[in-house]
């Protein structure tokens, strides 16, 4: 059992280090997040939802297997531990589910979709939208790819749904280019149908692209870690919806709130209602993957009547995890060396004592 006295503590410390870095830091991060409920307690009629965007599951072209393994494990742990801690009623994925869906044929697209379902589940509580990496930008959307997404994720160009009495309109951002193409025409027809319904319930609009803005200069800070990028200028119809499409969307739907992703940056922005009677908020959700930033996030959104309450929830920092592994690894190596040297010194002392007492002919190494 001499080997266990030397290797036992390092093995235990290594297991503890892995548990801390791969489980505890995720649990600790999500335990510090709270649902933004009125008066500290959510009403039974309220809807608790996760808003997640830009998971970008790597594919066969640009995805190295080690990078793919690390990112998928991080998102898998983040999703299931956060779901266990907070137990949302529904989870919305706001597009760019996969990184290379736009290039995939039928069998490969199905493989990517199956992988998404393996990581994040598949059911009525998981609702997905299309992003440009799933089906391509507007000019590159192929009918076959669009049909594949519809088939795999049961999502149309524009869907009007209700969950616990709360109304959501799910929009394919690539169909809001406004250039009169078949795709845009179909979306406009769907929007007109929704308008003619004259529903008294103001919807929450979910899409991949944010509404039009030139930059993040008009954004409010979502949390203390939110650093607003004032330098990057957004391109209309590439980074955001067009100015005309955004105005038409607001006028037609009169939303309670708007959620989007795509930029891999957080943003909260106020917009005037169509009748100028007040404001509604638009939220842009950061990417959920370490591949697109050091501290990914999700939004905890509570819909309570006409109130949409939102808190951000930051995932653990990748750099912090790497630093803990480096420091912990070096400490374990030092402990191993100290124990090995100590055991060797003790062995030599015992051997020397044996030679003196019993005049053994055995040599001590």
The answer to whether residue 33 is domain-embedded is no
The answer to whether residue 356 is domain-embedded is no
The answer to whether residue 78 is domain-embedded is yes
Can you give the pLDDT of all 365 residues of the chain as single tens digits? 555 666 778 888 999 999 999 999 999 999 999 999 988 788 888 999 999 999 999 998 887 888 888 999 999 999 999 999 999 999 999 999 999 999 999 899 999 999 999 999 988 899 999 999 999 999 899 999 999 999 999 999 999 999 999 999 999 999 998 888 889 999 999 999 998 888 889 999 999 999 999 999 999 998 888 889 888 999 999 999 999 999 999 999 999 999 999 999 999 999 999 888 889 999 999 999 998 887 899 999 999 989 999 999 999 989 999 999 999 999 999 988 888 787 665 555 555 555 455 554 445 55
- What CATH number does the domain containing 255 carry? 3.60.21.10
Q: 112: part of which helix (H) or strand (E)?
A: helix 106-120
The answer to whether residue 350 is domain-embedded is no
Lookup: tokens for 47? 């809807």
Q: Is 34 helix (H, G, I), strand (E, B) or coil?
A: coil
The answer to whether residue 361 is domain-embedded is no
* Count of domains forming the chain: 1
The answer to whether residue 117 is domain-embedded is yes
* Cα 201 from Cα 214, distance rounded (Å): 30
Residue 208: domain span: 42-316
What are the C-alpha distances in Å from 149 to residues 96, 118, 288?
Answer: 12, 17, 21
Q: Pick the closest to residue 164 from 120, 198, 204, 195 (CA basis).
A: 204
pTM for the predicted model, two decimal places: 0.90
């Amino acid at each position: 059992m001499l080997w266990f006295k030397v290797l036992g503590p390092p093995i235990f410390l290594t297991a503890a280090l892995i548990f801390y870095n791969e489980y505890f830091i995720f649990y600790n991060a999500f335990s510090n997040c709270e649902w933004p409920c009125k008066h500290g307690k959510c009403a039974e009629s309220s809807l608790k939802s996760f808003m997640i965007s830009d998971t970008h599951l790597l594919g066969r072209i640009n995805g190295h297997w080690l990078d793919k393994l690390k990112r998928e494990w991080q998102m898998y742990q983040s999703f299931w531990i956060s779901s266990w801690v907070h137990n949302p009623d529904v989870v919305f994925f706001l597009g760019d589910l996969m990184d290379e869906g736009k290039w995939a044929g039928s069998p490969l697209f199905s493989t990517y979709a199956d992988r998404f379902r393996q990581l994040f589940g598949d059911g009525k509580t998981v609702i997905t939208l299309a992003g440009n990496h799933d089906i391509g930008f507007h000019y590159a959307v192929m009918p076959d790819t669009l049909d594949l997404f519809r088939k795999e994720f049961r999502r149309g160009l524009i869907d009007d749904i209700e969950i616990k009495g709360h109304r959501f309109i799910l929009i394919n951002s690539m169909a809001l280019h406004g250039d009169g193409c078949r795709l845009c025409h179909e979306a406009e027809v769907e929007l007109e149908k929704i308008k003619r319904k004259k529903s008294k319930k103001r919807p929450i609009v979910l899409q991949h692209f944010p509404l039009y803005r030139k930059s993040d200069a008009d954004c409010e800070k979502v949390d203390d870690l939110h650093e607003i990028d004032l330098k990057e200028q957004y391109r209309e119809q590439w980074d955001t919806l067009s100015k005309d499409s955004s105005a038409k969307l607001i006028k037609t739907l009169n939303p309670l709130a708007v959620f989007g992703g795509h930029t891999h940056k957080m943003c909260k922005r106020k917009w005037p209602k169509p009748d100028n009677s007040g404001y509604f908020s638009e939220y842009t959700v950061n990417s959920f993957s370490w591949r697109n930033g050091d501290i990914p996030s999700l939004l905890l959104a509570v819909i309570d009547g006409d109130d949409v309450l939102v808190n951000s929830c930051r995932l653990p920092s990748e750099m912090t995890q790497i630093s803990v592994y480096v420091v912990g690894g070096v400490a374990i190596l030092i402990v191993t060396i100290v124990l090995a040297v100590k055991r060797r010194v003790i062995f030599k002392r015992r051997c020397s004592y044996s030679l003196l007492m019993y005049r053994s002919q055995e040599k001590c190494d």
